């Protein structure tokens, strides 16, 4: 049985590799590119990191261009945001591999993140006037711009590296954390704390459920006749789904949401037993010594 599950795991990994099929840049090249901004992140060194879906390349035109690249720029126009169509001359590089044998392979993460190349703009990118983008692009851009607005508000309120860490914990924007702090967290083994994961999802869901159960307790007549625990669980599930979207839909968060959704579904459809009984249920003893 263990061998069967192991084989199924290898098959699933291979199917996922085929499904993603990210086109990867084969060699270093300079070209003029035009693309649509997916994410714009301010970095600690003052530069801006742009994740761009390529639309076209020129001078030279790439025959096997990647679908998505990640580039840094010294400055960007004030009106550039997620969803903007931009153009500029850039130096493209293949995703880097491990810096030393058996260390972390950055190209592995790039492949499964859909990023086929990285690099930097040789000049400041410019915004290209365009017609309305597709509906799916509009939705993604609206969410991304909302994330950036929340992150900007956190940075301006908290300030300093603490504000960058707070923005990473709440909306998953980590590019602005100074490198010395990143390195310190890696050395101490706590870098995973700033990556949105099941821990953060559980904290959000637990906080929402606690507040809702407390609020329901203020209305005993309603709470005694309704399955308020399930109401609170359903609202908490919606809240962590919204948090997952705002935090960038990270893999660990998706896994936690699937687990929470499955658990909530099982609880919602199972018969109400003794542990789910409400004070108004037939057979519940309101006072000691009173028979059902």
Q: How far apart are CA 24 and CA 19, in angstroms?
A: 15
Q: How far apart are CA 125 and CA 72, in angstroms?
A: 10
DSSP category for residue 149: H
What's the burial of 282, exposed, middle or buried (CB within 10 Å: 0-12/13-18/19+)?
exposed
Classified as helix, coil or strand, 285 is coil
Q: Would you write out the chain's pLDDT as a tens digit for each of its 292 residues?
A: 888 889 898 898 888 888 888 889 888 999 999 999 988 888 888 889 999 999 999 989 998 889 999 999 998 888 888 888 999 999 999 988 787 777 778 888 888 888 999 999 998 899 988 766 666 677 888 888 888 888 888 888 888 888 888 888 888 888 888 888 888 888 888 877 787 777 788 888 889 989 999 999 999 898 888 888 889 888 988 888 888 888 876 544 445 454 555 555 555 445 554 444 444 443 444 444 444 3
- What angle in degrees, to the nearest 10, is found between the helix axes of 160-171 and 135-158? 150
SS (H, E, C) 230-277: HHHHHHHHHHHHHHHHHCCCCHHHHHHHHHHHHHHHHHHHCCCCHHHC
Give Cβ neighbours of residue 181 (< 8 Å, ≥ 6 apart): 161, 165
Q: How far apart are CA 21 and CA 7, in angstroms?
A: 21
């Amino acid at each position: 049985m263990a061998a069967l599950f192991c084989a199924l795991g290898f098959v699933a990994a291979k199917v996922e590799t085929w499904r993603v099929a990210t086109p990867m840049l084969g060699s270093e090249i300079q070209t003029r590119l035009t693309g649509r901004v997916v994410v714009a992140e301010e970095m600690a060194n003052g530069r801006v990191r742009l994740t761009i879906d390529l639309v076209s390349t020129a001078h030279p035109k790439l025959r096997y261009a990647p679908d998505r690249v990640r580039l840094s720029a010294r400055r960007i126009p004030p009106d550039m945001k997620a969803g903007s169509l931009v153009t500029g001359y850039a130096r493209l590089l293949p995703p880097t591999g491990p810096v030393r044998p058996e260390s972390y392979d950055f190209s592995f993460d790039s492949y499964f993140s859909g990023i086929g190349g990285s690099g930097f703009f040789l000049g400041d990118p410019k915004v290209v006037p365009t017609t309305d983008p597709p509906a799916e692009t509009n939705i993604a851009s609206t969410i991304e711009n909302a994330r950036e607005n929340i992150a900007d508000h956190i940075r301006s309120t908290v300030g300093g590296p603490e504000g960058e860490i707070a923005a990473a914990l709440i909306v998953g924007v980590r590019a602005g954390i100074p490198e010395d702090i990143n390195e310190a967290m890696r050395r101490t083994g706590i870098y995973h704390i700033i990556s949105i994961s099941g821990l953060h999802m559980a904290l959000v869901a637990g906080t929402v459920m606690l507040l809702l159960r407390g609020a329901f307790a203020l209305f005993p007549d309603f709470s005694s006749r309704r399955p308020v625990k399930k109401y609170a669980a359903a609202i908490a599930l919606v809240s962590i789904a919204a948090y997952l979207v705002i935090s960038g839909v990270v893999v660990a968060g998706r896994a936690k949401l699937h687990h929470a959704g499955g658990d909530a579904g099982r609880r919602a459809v199972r018969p109400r037993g003794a542990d789910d009984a409400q004070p108004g249920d037939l057979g519940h003893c309101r006072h000691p010594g009173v028979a059902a």
